[in-house]
Chain A
Amino acid sequence: LRAPFDVLAIVVCALAVCGWAVWGGDTAILVPPPEAVAEGFVRQVVAGRYEGARALLSAEAAAEVDRDRLEQLRRNLEAGAGVVVGVTARPDGVDQDHARATALVDGRDGLVPVWLSMSLHRGLWKIDAIKE
């Protein structure tokens, strides 16, 4: 009869460790680092999963970047790169609670960069601005 309570206790402890790490300033180990967020965002856009992409935006950015803007971004990326075969990202620098990263959209016709700037919101990197 103990097993479910043991599992619950482990989950609570593990979540406490996650919270403690974020509270202690972790921005890249137990939370996705800026380049992972950038890559995830562009992957979602390229796949047409706009709500998933918008979840990675900061509240301010989400108010400005709507579904149509993301649809436009997807069209621009496909116009430049052709049929997309992969997305990678690299960090461009972290300055305390701000970071920049470049996502590279690899397509049959070439490589298209997307520059993203981010800031920390409650321990998670959120995208503030997108530049094609």
Chain B
Amino acid sequence: VDLHHVALRSVFAFVVLLALLRASGKRTIDQGTPFDFVLALILGDMIDDLLWADVEAARFVAAAGSLTLCHAVVALLTARGGFLADVIEGRPIVLMRAGVLVKKGLVRERVSESEAQELLRVAGLERGQWHEVDTARIEESGVVSVIRRPPFRAATRADLQRPGVRR
């Protein structure tokens, strides 16, 4: 296989994939949910066949285009929320409530206690700070979000306007 042919195919694949991913939305590029991640993985595998000329470029375009189109349609449907969004993307799972790990959530996400501790540490919470947590969730994207109890969260304008607060 000639090197300049490989280079030209690479440029073609790059331009097509870049255009498709930009059109399908920023989430695919950021791999926002497991679904986005799988799409990025499949597209990454498909490019291999084109680079080494195992398939014609038109087939690559048809396959990559169809997958990206499905993704764009599904993303549109899930963006409206509701039942379909729950089925496709799942729902956030509560990992901790009022400073205590929620066993049901751990089991549902198949996360052990030590893994939960690690996830919370990555989110900036040492074990000694667990009492500060109101709710910690594993979001659809796998990221852990933490909401702190009022005394421990950053002050908001509403806090400053409470009676008895001196400015």
Contacts and interface: CB of A to CB of B under 8 A. Distances in A.
A binds B: yes
Interface of A: 1, 3-4, 6-11, 14-15, 17-19, 21, 28-33, 35-36, 40, 124
**Interface majority SS on B: helix, strand, loop or mixed?**
helix
Nearest to A33: B53
A39 B58 CA distance: 20
Contacts of B52: 36
A40 B1 CA distance: 14
**Interface majority SS on A: helix, strand, loop or mixed?**
helix
Nearest to A39: B54
A61 to B, nearest CB: 19
A17 B56 CA distance: 12
B67 to A, nearest CB: 10
A28 B2 contact: yes
Contact of A18 (B2, B58, B68): B58
24 contacts: A3-B25, A4-B72, A7-B68, A10-B19, A10-B20, A10-B23, A11-B61, A11-B62, A11-B65, A14-B61, A15-B58, A18-B56, A18-B58, A28-B2, A29-B5, A29-B8, A30-B12, A30-B56, A30-B57, A31-B57, A32-B55, A32-B56, A40-B54, A124-B56
